[in-house]
Amino acid sequence: METILKVTDLKKSYHGKEVVSGISFQVFKKDIIGFIGPNGAGKSTTINLLTALFPPDTGQIYYNQEDIHNNLKSYKRTLGIVPQDLAFYEDLTAYDNVSFFCSLYRYRGKALKYQVKEALEFVGLWDRRGDYPTTFSGGMKRRLNIACAIAHSPELLIMDEPTVGIDPQSRNHILETVNTLNQRGTTIIYISHYMEEIETLCNRILLMDKGTILEDTQKTDYKMKYKSLGTGSLEDIFLKLTGTALRDAND
Amino acid sequence: MHTFLPLFLLGLRKRSKDSFILFYNILFPAIIILLLGYLTVKSYSKEFTSYHYYTLVIIPFCALMGIITVAYVAKEDKLSNTSCRLLTAPISNAALVLAKFLSCFIVLALCNIITLGLSVFLYQLPMNNSFVPCAALLTMEAAVVTGIGLYLGYAFHKMEALKNFLNLPIVLWGLFGGSFFPIASNTLTLTTLRRFSPLTYINRSIFEAVYDNRLTLLTFLIVIFTLFSILLLFLTIKQFKKEAIL
């Protein structure tokens, strides 16, 4: 299996509190990694470090064996992010939104138009390309959010709770989209609190809590390992490992 | 350059459709000129009307208020949640800031010139070949306003605090600069206070250009504004932090 992303001993502190405590893991090509953990586990901070939003205090992140901070622009061109919050301009049409964000990755002219058409067709919004997001349903907005992230054909896609607040039909469509993306060669890091999504989509589980990685394993191995707990449900395993106490902190 | 152009074109498109910018930089000054001109019409002569006076002093004052507008522009990506996409894209800080600067500058400058042109036409203000120099001054004032607005917009985390910080000085500058009514420098205190208002010098330079055909002060101000806006742009790029828009 080809390693495309390698994280080594990553640490990050905010206001004297260590939020990410020396984590290490690898991402292999064509993985769909279910990145799970309670609120305040450090997932969002880890994602911020992976997307080079902030530098780590210590540790390295390698993409295709090269430290990402040696050539950030080159790394960022291969990256796509579907943020948890809807991130597009309400005063631009669906087409213009996707076109703008794709153009930031050096696409121009016919190539740009092609990429935009592909992305909007892929998420099922081509017929609504001339409409403004204010006229979209919640599910359509989520799909536009995804289109803006995939238009430039990223090699590594990070999806932060892409199905929050939408109906089962839209969620199902998005999950199918994620699968198709992966079959086409995109490696995906998928963050979700919906264990059934992780169960359906992911081949690997990365469980994080209190700044550390508790589990980094294939999904089937993960379930086998905790079979002795008397359940094969990901959610039950999750609660057994992280506890049932309320977590009110932000990530 | 690759990423600057789409950012700049988007900024230009958004600014030119921004009803807030268009209202406060074209309609609002036009209304204020009309209102104040009408209210004080009997205090002026037929050759030099109240409308003439307020055309020349209100436009620079309203241009200065653009600082608050531009500060909001600095925060727009935070407000629309698009900042994470911009910061994870292969874009330099310089491209991001420069695109916002140029798009705001161009639209604000055009608004100032349009308002000046409309007012000159409506109130038959005799510009005496000084329209172009005055337009140039208002253009560079737009550059400084953009520079200050962007710098403060990125520096301040809370917009309410910024608005409160800026509103009072701008109004006081307008007051002592003669934007609401002519100020005579009768006392030492008034003379000193007037010196602290940039509008004192802007208004004086415009009046000298229009009525005395003297361009010295105006040219000096254009040069100062150009240098100051370049400095502010450089400082904004240098001191730009991602936390400002996250």
The answer to whether residue A229 scores a pLDDT higher than 70 is: no
ipTM above 0.90, yes or no: no
Chain B contact for A189, CB < 8 A?
no
Chain A contact for B81, CB < 8 A?
yes
Residue B237 in contact with residue B90, Cβ under 8 Å?
no
The answer to whether residue A228 scores a pLDDT higher than 80 is: no
Contacts of B14 in chain A (CB under 8 A): 89, 91
State the pLDDT at residue B10: 96
| Secondary structure (3-state) at B112 | helix
φ and ψ at residue B150, rounded to 5 degrees:
-65, -45
Residue A42 in contact with residue A208, Cβ under 8 Å?
yes
Domain boundaries along the sequence of chain B: 4-244
Chain A contact for B118, CB < 8 A?
no
Tell me: the pLDDT tens digits for A141-170? Answer: 999 999 999 999 999 999 999 998 888 888
Q: How many CA atoms lie within 13 A of B241 on its CB side?
A: 10
- Give domain A26-54+75-242's CATH architecture: 3-Layer(aba) Sandwich (3.40)
Higher pLDDT, B185 or A16: A16
Chain B contact for A105, CB < 8 A?
yes
State the pLDDT at residue B217: 96
Domain boundaries along the sequence of chain A: 26-54+75-242
Taking the C-alpha atoms of residue B152 and residue A32, their distance in angstroms, rounded to an integer, is 43
A248 pLDDT tier (thresholds 50, 70, 90): low
Task: Give the other-Cβ count within 10 Å of A165's Cβ.
Answer: 12
Q: How many CA atoms lie within 13 A of A182 on its CB side?
A: 21
* A-chain residue closest to B92, CA distance: A73
A247 pLDDT tier (thresholds 50, 70, 90): confident
- Mean pLDDT (whole number) for A125-133: 97
- Mean pLDDT (whole number) for A46-65: 94
Residue A222 in contact with residue A54, Cβ under 8 Å?
no
Angle at B88 between CA A59 and CA A75, to 5 degrees: 60
State the pLDDT at residue A250: 56
Task: Give the other-Cβ count within 10 Å of A159's Cβ.
Answer: 26
- Mean pLDDT (whole number) for A217-225: 83
- Mean pLDDT (whole number) for A213-234: 80
Residue A31 in contact with residue A204, Cβ under 8 Å?
yes
Of A81, A89, A103, the CB nearest to B88: A81
Q: For an interface test with B, which of A82, A104, A144 has the most B Cβ atoms less than 10 Å from its Cβ?
A: A104
Q: Which residues contact B24 (CB under 8 A, 6 or more apart)?
A: B62, B65, B66, B69
Contacts of B81 in chain A (CB under 8 A): 83, 85-87
Taking the C-alpha atoms of residue B218 and residue B216, their distance in angstroms, rounded to an integer, is 5
* B-chain residue closest to A83, CA distance: B84
H or E element at residue A34: strand A32-36
What's the mean per-residue pLDDT of chain A?
91
Using the beta-carbon criterion (under 8 Å), do B14 and A91 form an inter-chain contact? Answer: yes
B44-59 b/e (C-beta count within 10 Å ≥ 16 → b) = beeeebbbbbbbbbbb
Q: pLDDT averaged over consecutive 10-residue blocks of chain B (246 residues)? A: 90 93 93 94 89 95 94 90 94 95 97 95 89 96 97 89 88 92 80 90 95 95 97 95 85
Residue A215 in contact with residue A25, Cβ under 8 Å?
no
pTM of the model: 0.90
State the pLDDT at residue A225: 77
State the pLDDT at residue A249: 58
Q: How many CA atoms lie within 13 A of A217 on its CB side?
A: 11
Using the beta-carbon criterion (under 8 Å), do B80 and A101 form an inter-chain contact? Answer: no
State the pLDDT at residue B111: 96
The answer to whether residue A251 scores a pLDDT higher than 60 is: no
Chain A contact for B14, CB < 8 A?
yes
Using the beta-carbon criterion (under 8 Å), do A105 and B89 form an inter-chain contact? Answer: yes
A195 pLDDT tier (thresholds 50, 70, 90): confident
Give Cα A124 distance to the centre of its chain: 20
- If we measure between CA atoms, which residue out of B149, B1, B146, B120 comes closest to residue B58? B120
Contacts of A149 in chain B (CB under 8 A): 85
A27 pLDDT tier (thresholds 50, 70, 90): very high
State the SS3 of B24-79: HHHHHHHHHHHHHHHHCHHHCCCCCCHHHHHHHHHHHHHHHHHHHHHHHHHHHHHH
User: Would you state the structure tokens that stand for residue B48, as one six-digit string?
Assistant: 């030099």
State the pLDDT at residue A238: 81
